[in-house]
Each structure stands twice: as C-alpha cells, then as structure tokens.
Amino acid sequence: MHVDHDAGRAGFLDGLAALRAVADALDADQLLATSRCRGWTVGDVLVHVHLGLQEMLLGAVSPTDRAPDVDAASYWRFPVGPQPAASPLGHVRFVRSMGAAYRCPTGIVANLHPTADAVAHRVADLPEGAVATQGHVMRSGDFLAAWALELAVHHLDLGAELTMPPPAPAALTLARGTVEELAGGPLPWPDETTVLIGTGRLAPDEEQAREAGPLAARLPVLG
C-alpha cells in the first residue's frame, strides 16, 4: 500500500490537529476517564501518543538513499512503536507510570504541545523521499500515512467513556485503507467501525461477521 506524499502529509497534519483540539478540551477529570486501551486512562493514551511523536520525529529527520523495505500497510506486520520495556505489558505499565508522575493530568496535554509543534513543523517541510525509521526504510508518504493511522486510532481510543468529535477524515480514510489492505479486501462498515474492529477495539457481532464474509476470520489485523 503506497501513499502519495501529499496525501500522507495531509492525513497526518489533519489528524494531529484534530487530536490536539480534542486533548485541549479535556479537563483533569476527563483525562482520568477509561480509554479503549486496556489498563490506560485517556491521559495515558496521550502519554503514549507523545512517546510515538518523539519516535516519529527521529524518522522525519533521517532521510536515506536506501531502498524502502516496508510500505504504509506492511509496516504494521512488524513490532513498531516505542519499546521502553521488554513486553507489551511492560509498556502498558511504563506509560501508566509516566502518566501518574504528573502533578495534575492536564500537565500531560501541556507537555505534549512542544513535541507536537516540532513534529508538525518538520512534517510541513518534509521533502518527498525515503526515511529511516525503527529499523526500516519507508517512502515519506507511507511513513506519514502510518502515523496518520496511529493518530486516528488513538483519537478513537479516547472515546470509550467520553463523547468527542471524530478523527480528521483524511487520517481516518488512511486508517481504513490500511486495515482493508491488511485484511485483504474491502470491509462493509462505516470508517470508525472498520478501524475499531480492524484494530481489535471492538469485536464484530454475528451480523457484522456475516457482512464481512471470509474477511472476518482475519480480523483484527493490528492492535
């Protein structure tokens, strides 16, 4: 799944702006609400996003002449994301500890902004080409699309208990396209449902499984 540079950039920047707008509107109590990520509050999800943006920034400043070895979809077939601990459970606990270290949960959002500003500035100026990231090489459009998916999914993660605006359409479209590419075909549900089921946030009910046909057995395609 190859994504055009401009489409990837638009999806990422729109997705980041939408997530930041939602985060800015959350008070301390809302940041302690349960998220769709097991073991994490809404604030914890934003801590995880912050760690991811720091990792992304390293890729955005690492152009390379090497040939790409993953695209916007196949990237997700490998372990990705910040790995400060030896296991997924370790990362859950690590992020929880970071979130708990803030005197007030709103500090999580305040601390996110400088990194988000730096990433947005770099992405706005990122030339088309290839970048080295997390042991792989990706075309810039694919790199940006992968992170647009990350933002869209975690935007949805904030809505387990809270009612909030949806992710940016451009980011959500890229997320859906990635899920369908990994699943092996088009899925019959609205964008948000497709992404939530495709990433294991929701389990398809009997009717949804019938609608998806043989593709249902392949879900979720990423977590």
Instruction: Indicate the domain borders of the chain.
Output: 5-185
pLDDT of residue 87: 59
pLDDT of residue 82: 44
pLDDT of residue 84: 44
pLDDT of residue 160: 96
CATH of 5-185, one of 3.30.2270.10, 1.10.357.10, 1.20.120.450, 2.60.120.10: 1.20.120.450
Residue pLDDT, tens place only, 140-193: 999 999 999 999 999 999 999 999 999 999 999 999 999 999 999 999 999 999
Give the list of residues 6+ apart from residue 169 with CB closer than 8 angstroms, or none.
14
Q: How many residues does the chain have?
A: 223
pLDDT of residue 19: 98
pLDDT of residue 90: 85
- Tokens representing 102 are 């803030």
Q: Is 49 helix (H, G, I), strand (E, B) or coil?
A: helix
Percent with pLDDT over 90 in the chain: 91
Q: Is 131 helix (H, G, I), strand (E, B) or coil?
A: strand
Is residue 78 very low, low, confident or very high in pLDDT (cuts 50, 70, 90)?
Answer: low
Percent with pLDDT over 70 in the chain: 96
3-state secondary structure 147-179: HHHHHHHHHHHCCCCCCCCCCCHHHHHHHHHHH
Average of per-residue pLDDT values in the chain: 94
Please report where in the chains the tokens 């940006």 appear, as a residue: 144
Average pLDDT over residues 67-85: 76
Give the list of residues 6+ apart from residue 16 with CB closer than 8 angstroms, or none.
116, 119, 120, 151
- Full-model pTM: 0.93
